[in-house]
């Protein structure tokens, strides 16, 4: 399993982590149960109808593409991880999946009616460039929708895990500088970037996604095994730090969500949508 290297850039870390087939599989099998709950909102936000031509950026294992196909869309999914693309092609044979970078698309101007991005924005080094590329490949009147996890200002597993890393993690382990995980949940930032790129009618809505678990430490495991940024912070921790981080997550979940034996742990998301001018 890979660890953050001192010379890592944010882009290199993201590329390496998502290329790891264990991370890709863990994300698809477990972490994405919460991401899957956001798919209907993305599909609704781009007004998908039979025949709508949709580009699904950062498509991962194909969960958004699967929903779009069910709604009758013609779907092209794009991701830079071949491990993710293998999963997507197996899961959604009706869609076309291609390897590529969301910051430099090979499609002609105006070639799609809609662009979706499920939890891709926090992973790209230059989110405004992705929004600019989405605008370029959309026809006027086409729609963009993207999802981002809410930040720690609300009750969220993401806040519990990263809060515990801040308190109990080794100070020698840090992520390379990059965009904040929740930056694009902020409407001021998101709408300003969208308007500058040629979008109008910017909107946001919250989706109450969650994990249902029988182990209150499971959200720690989901972040450790199935995410790029969380995994890079959690996997290299010395055993004593790792145990303290997991224990802090467990205690936060018991405090906030009761004594069990089952827990519904919130990990809410924001879906932002806009229309190409």
Ligand X SMILES: C[S@@+](CC[C@H](N)C(=O)[O-])C[C@H]1O[C@@H](n2cnc3c(N)ncnc32)[C@H](O)[C@@H]1O
* Residues in touch with ligand X (CB under 6 A): 14, 18, 32, 35, 58-60, 63-64, 79-81, 84, 101-103, 118-120, 123-124
Of the pair 42, 249, the CB lying nearest ligand X is at 42
C-beta of 114: minimal distance to ligand X in Å? 15
Of the pair 229, 257, the CB lying nearest ligand X is at 229
C-beta of 83: minimal distance to ligand X in Å? 8
Distance of CA 67 to the CA centre of its chain: 16
C-beta of 37: minimal distance to ligand X in Å? 10
**Which residues, 6+ apart, have CB-to-CB distance to 200 below 8 Å?**
274, 275, 277
Of the pair 168, 224, the CB lying nearest ligand X is at 224
C-beta of 181: minimal distance to ligand X in Å? 10
Of the pair 59, 207, the CB lying nearest ligand X is at 59
Peptide bond into 143 cis (omega under 30): no
Of the pair 103, 154, the CB lying nearest ligand X is at 103
Measure the CA–CA gap between 150 and 154, rounded to whole angstroms: 7
C-beta of 255: minimal distance to ligand X in Å? 28
Neighbouring-strand partners of residue 117: 57, 146
- Helices and strands (H and E) in the chain: how many: 12, 9
Q: What is each CA distance from 235 to 5, 136, 162, 177, 191, in whole angstroms?
A: 13, 38, 13, 19, 35
């Amino acid at each position: 399993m890979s660890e953050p290297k001192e010379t890592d850039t944010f882009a290199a870390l993201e590329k390496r982590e998502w290329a790891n087939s264990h991370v890709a599989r863990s994300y698809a099998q477990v972490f994405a149960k919460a991401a899957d709950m956001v798919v209907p909102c993305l599909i609704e936000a781009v007004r998908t109808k039979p025949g709508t031509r949709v580009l699904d950026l950062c498509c991962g294992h194909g969960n958004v593409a699967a929903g779009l196909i069910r709604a009758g869309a013609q779907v092209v999914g794009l991701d830079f991880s071949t491990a993710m693309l293998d999963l997507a092609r197996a899961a959604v044979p009706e869609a076309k999946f291609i390897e590529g970078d969301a910051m430099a698309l090979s499609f002609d101007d105006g070639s799609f009616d809609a662009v979706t991005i499920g939890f891709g924005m926090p992973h790209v080094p230059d989110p405004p460039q992705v929004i600019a590329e989405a605008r370029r490949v959309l026809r006027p009147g086409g729609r963009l929708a993207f999802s981002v996890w809410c930040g720690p200002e609300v009750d969220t597993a993401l806040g519990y895990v990263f809060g515990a890393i801040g308190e109990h993690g080794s100070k020698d382990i840090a992520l390379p500088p990059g965009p904040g995980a929740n930056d694009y949940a902020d409407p001021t930032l998101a709408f300003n970037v969208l308007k500058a790129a040629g979008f109008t009618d910017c909107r946001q809505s919250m989706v109450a996604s969650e994990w249902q678990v029988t182990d209150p430490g499971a959200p720690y495991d989901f972040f450790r095994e199935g995410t790029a940024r969380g995994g890079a912070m959690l996997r290299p921790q010395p055993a004593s730090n790792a145990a303290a981080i997991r224990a802090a997550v467990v205690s936060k979940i018991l405090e906030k969500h009761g004594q069990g034996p089952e827990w519904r742990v919130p990990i809410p998301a924001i879906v932002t949508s806009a229309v190409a001018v």
